[in-house]
A and B are shown apart, each in its own frame.
Chain A
Amino acid sequence: MPGNERPAVRVLAEQRALVTPVILFGVLLIISAWHGPHLFTSDGLAGAVIGAAPLVLATLAITPVALAGPAGVDLSIGPAMTFINIAVVLGLAPLGFSGPAAVFVFAIALGVALEVAMGTLIAVLRVSTVVVTLAVYLVLDGLNTVILPQPGGTAPAWLANWGSASSVLSPILYVPLAAFVLWTLLSRTTFFRNVRLMGANDRTAFVSGVPLIPTRIGAHVIAGVFAGIASVMFTGLIGSADPTAGASYTLSAVTALVIGGASLGGGRAKGLGSVLGAIDIWLISYVLSTFNFGLNASYWVQFATGAVLVAALVTGGIVTGLPARGWWRGRQRGMVPARPGR
């Protein structure tokens, strides 16, 4: 049988989408080693993992939605994380449920509930993902500030301790690792394959008998699970409830997703790419923080992130030769009705 056993190197080399985030990762590591070697101490590494974990998980959370396509950009992730953060700190802990199990179950359940609500609107009413998640972004962002005008409250002690860990061999590493293992397992299920094929061509999937509505909502369920874990890590990082700190995760996560090689058209997105993309984004801000920009640092981070994004897309496009082919293909595809049943 051809192609049954294939060397791992060849498989990796064929992942064209991972080329950009891997190269970027290497470049950023080299710059860090030269200009910010603190990263490679135990303390520095722990700080890196703590700092990057919420973004890594947030990016994983929006990956299945991107995979389910078309134009599956989940903008709600930042405010959703903040909302869960506030609910955990101000809602759950005072009720006496502050153990790790309760916090994780609650956060994941809330994340899944939010995502299922959005997924249902998108799948059943066929409203575009961007519109629905933008609306939820605005609603939650407003609601967060109404519930909690000022940062306040304290995270459960164990969670706050996670956030101030000084060794990398602590839950702050184990949780993202476990989440990634969960992702890897999920991505091998038939359900996940249906999500991917639906994203690649929903018409083909429909006529071949893939049930579109449950599949699409299911993609949002996975998103909700990771959104829940992301907000627990976020709560650990800030150690309190903060109505505004989370919103910026939306843009960072979408950027990480794109750098990680996901196609916003649907059908193409890899967990590993998203993780690498998120780490790259975090490294960019780390590298810039080692230069002395003073008060302007955050603007420089934005500027650099944007520049890297454009550069990554352009080089990625040149490497895979997409622009020239894509234009004609897009035209051809445009001549076919987009939805089945006409």
Chain B
Amino acid sequence: MARGTTDPRAQTLSGEAKPGVVRTPGTPSKSADQVVALSKVSKSFGETHALRACSFSARAGEVHAIIGENGSGKSTLAKLLAGVLHPDKGSVRVNGAEPTNPRAARAMGIAVVFQEILVAEGGTVLDNLFIGDDGLFRARLTPRQKRARAGALLDRLVGAPLDLDMLIEDLPLNMRQWIVIARALLGKPCLVVFDEATAALDHSSVERFFDVVRELKASGASVLIVTHRIHELTAICDRATVLSDGVDVGTLAGTEITEARLLQLMHGEAPSQARDRLVGDHKAPAARVGAEEALVVSRLLLSEQAGPVDLVVRAGEIVGLAGLEGHGQVEFIQTVSGIRRPVAGEITVKRDGSGYAVDSVTSADRARLAYIPGDRKAEGVFINLSVFENFGIACYRRTARAGFIDRRRVGRMFQEQVQALSIRLGRRAAPINSLSGGNQQKVVLGRALATEPLVLALNDPTRGVDIGAKRDLYVLLHTLAEKGKAVLFLSNEIEEFAGLCNRVVVFRSQSVFDTLTGEEITADAVLAAMFGYSNAGGLDRARQ
């Protein structure tokens, strides 16, 4: 494959990069075979700091893993190397040069497989393999050469011949993932970044993927793997760099790469204490969980391959939902709220002894289940409408008289919620984006509460919200639970669960991996479960 194993450098390089070489965390190596060098790179998107003074280096002929929680900056790092993003501060160097745009990066021998499976629908497999390979007017390879190379490579990767003239949208997801991987390998790269490239692959294909990685390594290329699957690291990586909150907190080499060390690094001492303080004030999860079932989810399939999900939430209970990005927790909460359709299974809201099935947004509303989105810009607010309009959207219909809006009644409901949630606002006719993120979220929450729901499904409600508003939200959720509401609380900030939730359900591979209750709920335990380690003994069940 890439570069051919006859390369004389290959032997020495792979020999040199043997496990066991210990490096001080974060210090870039100054050796001559260093391929990637990021020094003090910062990148922010508005208020969010994706990377802050992050340093990182990788050598030729090594497999280097980059791991961290959701939002720790891994994907940003991959995009910087691909030339898709540019650092605000610091420098990104690959073999001494800066990847200024994707085309330049490509010319420098950088190939990045992104987390999203980026294919051009409407193009054939062949088109998608060689997209960007041709110049503006001249093809680098003849069609015959392309077919020969693509055929040979895909035979090896997929293990079966593939019709290159097939339309890409007729391929299943895992095959598209292979196409995207093959696209990266066809250019004979010197640096390959796999950002969650194995997410859509099944177990046997993962083995083939490892073979590819080993070959790349032997050929002297530098391979970076961004992954959530810790067992992949121990299987294949020479070094692993841990990112936390956009900072590189340490690099492990060879036999040092163990789950314990990685989790410890990901969850360094200092941040952990800060996190305890976050929710420390009300360390008493709602004590009175009612006996009656409020929400029953039975045999729910989130995807064709996934295992079924069963969950019962009782009145007065707060159930946390956690999982790494793309492992099904978001799909689950949206399915429960009637926004997505499940592959199979039933969702029922119980009320006064009768059950209300949820299979659409309308039926969720009828069942008095309210969905509160956290991504305000995408789902939560109408950005160019006023605060009042944003609140009223859900109330107009149910308060209308003979089809006409009863503004006075909606206004009263608005005042009630403003007081109850202590929303700080100026004029209610002001545009919603004049409010802070926390207050916007309260308006969204107030809108849901005004419909007097029995079940609340919160999808990452504390995203981009300041700490004061977060505390208000925790207190509010406790109050609501005490009033007998059932709460589903999805969060990407795992330290939020302890002290707030009665139970935390951790998703992995589109189904429930583990459920933590009571005292078991600690940030470390949730994190471990997210990465596939349960209390039972560190075995990744998702692996089977």
Contact = CB atoms under 8 A, between A and B. Distances in A.
B122 A190 contact: no
Contact of A203 (B118, B139, B165, B378): B118
A200 B120 contact: yes
Residue from the set B118, B135, B162, B163 with the largest chain A CB neighbour count within 10 Å: B118
A335 B112 CA distance: 22
Interface in B113-143: 114, 116, 118-123, 127-128, 131-139
Contacts of B120: 197, 200-201, 204-205, 267
A220 interface: no
Contacts of B128: 197, 204
> Chain A, interface size: which category?
35 or more
Contacts of B84: 206-207, 340-341
Given A201-B120, A208-B183, A215 B132 contact: no
A116 to B, nearest CB: 15
A193 B124 CA distance: 11
B163 A2 contact: yes
B105 A209 contact: yes
B161 A196 contact: no
Interface in A292-342: 328, 335-336, 340-342
B404 interface: no
A204 B136 contact: no
Contact of A2 (B85, B102, B121, B161): B161
Nearest to A190: B134
Contact of A3 (B85, B112, B127, B165): B165
Contacts of B112: 207
A191 B118 CA distance: 20
A17 B136 CA distance: 27
A190 B139 contact: yes
A190 B102 contact: no
B136 A197 contact: no
B85 A205 contact: no
A170 B135 CA distance: 39
B521 interface: no
> Chain B, interface size: which category?
35 or more
B151 interface: yes
B231 interface: no
Given A194-B136, A197-B120, A335 B378 contact: yes
Contact of B102 (A197, A208, A267, A342): A208
Interface string A194-222: 10110111011111111100110010000
B485 interface: no
B400 interface: no
Contacts of A199: 122
Contacts of A214: 136
A207 B85 CA distance: 10
Contact of A207 (B82, B123, B138): B82
A208 B104 CA distance: 10
6 contacts: A3-B163, A190-B134, A196-B123, A204-B120, A267-B120, A267-B121
Interface of B: 45, 82, 84-85, 102-103, 105-107, 112, 114, 116, 118-123, 127-128, 131-139, 147-148, 151, 161-166, 183, 341, 378
Given A1-B164, A4-B147, A207-B114, 12 more contacts: A1-B151, A194-B134, A200-B121, A205-B131, A206-B84, A206-B102, A207-B82, A209-B103, A210-B131, A210-B132, A341-B84, A342-B45
